[in-house]
Amino acid sequence: MEVQVSGRKVQLSPALRQAVETKLGRLERFLRGEHRAEVVFLEERNGRIADKRDVCEVLIDGAGHHLRARVAAPDPFAAIDAAVTKLEHQLHKAKSRVHGKGAGRRRPAPGPAEA
């Protein structure tokens, strides 16, 4: 999977880039074919709230999948963990919907001539 990491008005450390690639690598077990992931980090500031929040936006495109997760957390590492958890849940739902119970094993109901 091709991973592109960027930041809006935020400096990204090499440790954070490495963590992003490692965490998103876990999603490859759900994906087949070529996929591209865009990860954007930004800071959300609110004048009413003293603490800043780090936001992580992840967009995965490719092979019929278009997944998006946006998570805010006090720490960028916590934000990427939560985003990957959300994406895992979305991919698990999509995969189980396609390969659910009885998929491909159903027989047509007998018609009036066959009964």
Q: Give the burial class of 108: count Cβ atoms within 10 A of its Cβ; 0-12 exposed, 13-18 middle, 19 or more buried.
A: exposed
CA distance 75 to 70: 14
Higher pLDDT, 58 or 48: 58
> Structural domains in the chain?
2-98 (3.30.160.100)
| Model pLDDT for residues 34-43, shown as the tens digit of each residue | 889 999 999 9
Instruction: Please determine, for residue 79, whether its predicted confidence score (pLDDT) is greater than 80.
Output: yes
Supply the pLDDT for residue 105.
60
pTM of the model: 0.77
Continuous H helices in 13-109: 14-25, 76-98
